[in-house]
């Protein structure tokens, strides 16, 4: 379906090529209508449809100038600038020929997908192998998107989602289900879903074969001694045990006997190798635990180092993309393939994703979920795909930021600013505008000279009428924010946004309110409880310095709870040795209660909107039966939040 639409638009791109305004006007107007509520021409991410149409317009000076002319085709113009800014570098790099790609390599590799993967002409099969021990976080999202990109966008290949379920302690079906859903949400469709546990029998047989060929041995050296021996290139005393002994120990392990649990199997590579990963890594462990899929059938589990190359080869994976901390283990991966005579698999490593004041580790994330520091895996403060979505991140923005980083190897500690600023580009053109006034210390205002109470229909978005309309009630009874009113001088001319100017007549404070309000004790000033304004519509709104939001009380005002969140950590970059719990931010949310205009009653869960002068919000809970709506503030990249 999408492919057909893309092809159709690629054909339509021709219509933007004639150097004749009359001929191209129609197609541009159609495109403008098409883009009213869309960020992309087809679907939820950049496709060849966007790129081809963009190139056609870019290459035609007449089309280009009418598109960038302010206000003529606002949707096309927004889309065009967006593609221009974000996609051009990627497009140009990705569409270069092979030689160009080689030249580009070594230069800045930001977003460069021509990473010179070898052997791609024989087909490409990638895999994303999460352990089902938690929800997907943004780092996993990067790994998944890159694998998807190479399998489905850059090459006409295949991508496998493989649950790497070799450690029963932390794994659960719940996590598998959530991973499948989250990938779907990001538009990633694996061609096949498998489990490492599907291959437990093959893996076991491969290990037996290794032992029989003298390429693996059983060991029971205690952990600490093993570590020292590894460090000092010392052979284990079992390194040269007989094949019969090794097989006997492996059988004992397989039975899960107490004796069996003290043994493990190691690959016999080279204890003298300068690369520690080659010093006889452990390939099988005995751990008599119930597995969420295989139950108690197995008491032995292969390690990642062993299972990964075997299953990659067996499943026909051609390119195993991993994060760069596996660099040292590539040699070992290749050794395993050779030792077992398996088909070749290429390795390519890319940078791990890292964000300031964020930990991307399932172990740590599980801990704060279990301790109740957050509301769950989908808490808006969590760096999980669900969490950041709940905070108001859109999928296209997420894809864009991750894909623009590309498969580069250079690790950068990313700031959240960029990703939220990108998100803003996506939500700003389509978020309806509403009004809210802080409930606490709100000021009751009488507007003299106001016309009789009436309701007008206004656009929810001044620049995008397609977002819809809202009711705006005008009357002499309105409320204003305390902070705004506190800044007014008597006699000052101010602007009531989307209404007109008014002159400040008199402010008053009631003693009762003054005693009740904590503001009073803080500043020594009692809050203002009421105000009189005189409407002055002939005044020039350009000349006032204060433009304030207001709400008529002659409508059903909707109670809303607005949450603003902060980072979970107080330290930018956690070091390996840091106890992360010491750096947990004690206050990560601020709640403000407000009253909002009557239109807010119609908002549904997941809607993204803006409160004038307050910012963008995502509706987490809609207004229902008088219960306040709950909204989460969406960061926009300002101030790094
Ligand atoms: P965690 O510490 O969160 O458990 P992990 O690497 O152990 O991370 P897996 O479920 O094994 O988690 O990861 C699945 C895939 O996601 C792996 O290929 C891994 O390299 C990749 N991945 C994990 N974290 C990141 C990250 N921060 N950036 C990029 N890729 C990542
Ligand atoms: Mg892991």
394-423 confidence digits (pLDDT tens): 999 999 888 888 888 877 788 898 899 999
Q: List pLDDT tens digits, range 203-237.
A: 999 999 999 999 999 999 999 999 999 999 999 99
Which residue among 129, 131, 143 has the greatest number of ligand 1 atoms within 8 angstroms of its CB, and so is best to mutate?
A: 143
Report the C-alpha gap between 137 and 149 in whole angstroms. Answer: 18
Residue nearest to atom 4 of ligand 1 (CA): 362
pLDDT grade for 122, boundaries at 50, 70 and 90: confident
Q: List pLDDT tens digits, range 467-478.
A: 999 999 999 999
Q: Is the CB of 352 under 6 A from ligand 1?
A: yes
Q: Is the CB of 143 under 6 A from ligand 1?
A: yes
Q: Is the CB of 139 under 6 A from ligand 1?
A: yes
Three-state secondary structure call for residue 336? helix
Q: What pTM, to 2 d.p., does this model score? A: 0.79
Q: How many angstroms does the Cα of residue 129 sit away from the middle of ligand 2?
A: 9
Report the C-alpha gap between 367 and 488 in whole angstroms. Answer: 49
Given a contact cutoff of 8 angstroms between Cβ atoms, the answer to whether 165 and 339 are in contact is no
The whole-number pLDDT of residue 95 equals: 46
pLDDT grade for 82, boundaries at 50, 70 and 90: confident
Report the C-alpha gap between 489 and 484 in whole angstroms. Answer: 11
Residue nearest to atom 10 of ligand 1 (CA): 130
Q: Is the CB of 414 under 6 A from ligand 1?
A: no
Q: How many angstroms does the Cα of residue 361 sit away from the middle of ligand 2?
A: 9
Among residues 152, 134, 135, 147, the alpha carbon closest in space to that of 406 is found at: 147
Three-state secondary structure call for residue 69? coil
The whole-number pLDDT of residue 71 equals: 73
Report the C-alpha gap between 395 and 90 in whole angstroms. Answer: 18
Q: List pLDDT tens digits, range 511-561.
A: 555 455 555 445 556 889 999 999 999 999 999 999 999 999 999 999 999
pLDDT grade for 639, boundaries at 50, 70 and 90: low
CA 298 from centroid of its chain's CA atoms: 37
Q: Which of 257-271, 313-327, 501-515, 589-603 has the lowest mean pLDDT?
A: 501-515
Which residue among 140, 142, 167, 360 has the greatest number of ligand 1 atoms within 8 angstroms of its CB, and so is best to mutate?
A: 140
Among residues 251, 195, 188, the alpha carbon closest in space to that of 218 is found at: 251
Q: How many angstroms does the Cα of residue 359 sit away from the middle of ligand 2?
A: 15
- pLDDT average, residue stretch 126-138: 96
CA 303 from centroid of its chain's CA atoms: 30
- Phi, psi angle pair for 41, to nearest 5°: -65, -45
Q: List pLDDT tens digits, range 563-611.
A: 999 999 999 988 889 999 999 999 999 999 999 999 999 999 999 999 9
- pLDDT average, residue stretch 142-151: 95
The whole-number pLDDT of residue 507 equals: 80
Residue 292: its H or E element: none
Average per-residue pLDDT in the chain? 91
Q: Is the CB of 171 under 6 A from ligand 1?
A: no
Neighbours of ion ligand 2 (CB under 5 A): 131
Residue 249: its H or E element: helix 243-255
Q: Which of 93-107, 173-187, 382-396 has the lowest mean pLDDT?
A: 93-107
Q: How many angstroms does the Cα of residue 140 sit away from the middle of ligand 1?
A: 5
The whole-number pLDDT of residue 102 equals: 43
**CB atoms < 10 A from the CB of 278, how many?**
18
């Amino acid at each position: 379906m999408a492919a057909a639409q893309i092809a159709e638009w690629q054909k339509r791109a021709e219509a933007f090529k004639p150097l004749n305004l009359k001929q191209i006007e129609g197609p541009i107007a159609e495109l403008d209508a098409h883009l009213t509520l869309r960020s992309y021409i087809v679907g939820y991410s950049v496709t060849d449809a966007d790129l081809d149409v963009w190139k056609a317009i870019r290459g035609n000076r007449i089309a280009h100038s009418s598109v960038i002319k302010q206000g003529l085709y606002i949707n096309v113009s927004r889309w065009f600038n967006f593609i221009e800014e974000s996609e051009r570098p990627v497009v140009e790099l990705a569409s270069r020929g092979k030689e160009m790609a080689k030249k580009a390599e070594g230069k800045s590799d930001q977003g460069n997908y021509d990473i010179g993967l070898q052997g791609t002409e024989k087909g490409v099969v990638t895999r994303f192998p999460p352990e089902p021990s938690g929800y997907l976080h943004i780092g996993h999202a990067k790994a998944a998107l890159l694998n998807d990109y190479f399998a489905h966008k850059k090459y006409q290949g295949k991508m496998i989602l493989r649950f790497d379920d070799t450690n029963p302690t932390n794994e659960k079906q719940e996590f598998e289900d959530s991973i499948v859903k989250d990938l779907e949400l990001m538009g990633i469709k694996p061609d096949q879903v498998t489990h490492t546990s599907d291959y437990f029998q093959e893996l076991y047989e491969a290990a037996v074969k290794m032992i029989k060929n003298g390429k693996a041995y059983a060991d029971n050296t205690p952990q600490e001694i093993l570590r020292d021996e590894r460090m000092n290139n010392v052979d284990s005393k079992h390194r040269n045990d007989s094949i019969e002994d090794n097989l006997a120990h492996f059988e004992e392990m397989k039975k899960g006997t107490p004796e069996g649990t003290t043994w493990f199997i190691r690959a016999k590579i080279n204890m003298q190798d300068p690369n520690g990963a080659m010093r006889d890594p452990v390939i099988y462990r005995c751990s008599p635990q119930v597995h969420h899929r295989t139950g108690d059938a197995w008491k032995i589990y292969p390690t990642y180092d062993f299972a990964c190359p075997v299953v990659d080869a067996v499943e026909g994976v051609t390119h195993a993309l991993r994060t760069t901390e596996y660099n040292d283990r590539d040699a070992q991966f290749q050794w395993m393939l050779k030792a077992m005579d398996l088909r070749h698999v290429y390795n390519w490593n890319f940078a791990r994703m890292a964000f300031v004041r964020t930990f991307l580790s399932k172990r740590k994330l599980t801990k704060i979920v279990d301790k109740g520091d957050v509301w769950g895996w989908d808490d808006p403060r969590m760096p999980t795909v669900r969490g950041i979505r709940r905070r108001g991140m859109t999928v296209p923005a997420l894809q864009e930021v991750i894909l623009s980083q590309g498969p580069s190897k250079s690790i950068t500690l990313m700031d959240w600013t960029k990703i939220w600023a990108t998100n803003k580009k996506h939500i700003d053109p389509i978020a309806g505008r509403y009004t809210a006034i802080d409930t606490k210390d709100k000021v009751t205002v009488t507007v003299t000279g106001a016309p009789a109470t009436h309701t007008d229909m206004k656009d929810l978005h001044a620049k995008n009428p397609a977002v819809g309309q809202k009711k705006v009630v005008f009357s002499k009874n309105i409320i204003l924010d305390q902070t705004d009113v506190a800044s007014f001088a008597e006699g000052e001319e101010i602007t009531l946004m989307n209404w007109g100017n008014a002159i400040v007549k008199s402010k008053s404070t009631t003693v009762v309110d003054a005693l009740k309000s904590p503001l009073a004790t803080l500043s020594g000033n009692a809050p203002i409880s009421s105000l009189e304004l005189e409407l002055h519509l002939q005044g020039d709104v350009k000349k006032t310095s204060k433009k304030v939001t207001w709400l008529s009380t002659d409508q059903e005002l909707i109670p809303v709870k607005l949450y603003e969140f902060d980072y979970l950590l107080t330290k930018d970059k956690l070091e390996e040795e840091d106890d992360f719990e010491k750096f947990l931010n004690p206050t990560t949310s601020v709640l403000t209660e407000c009253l909002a205009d009557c239109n807010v009653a119609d908002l549904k869960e997941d809607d993204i909107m803006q409160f004038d002068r307050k910012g963008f919000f995502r509706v987490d809970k809609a207004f229902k039966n008088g219960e306040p709506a709950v909204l989460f503030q969406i960061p926009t990249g300002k101030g790094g939040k």
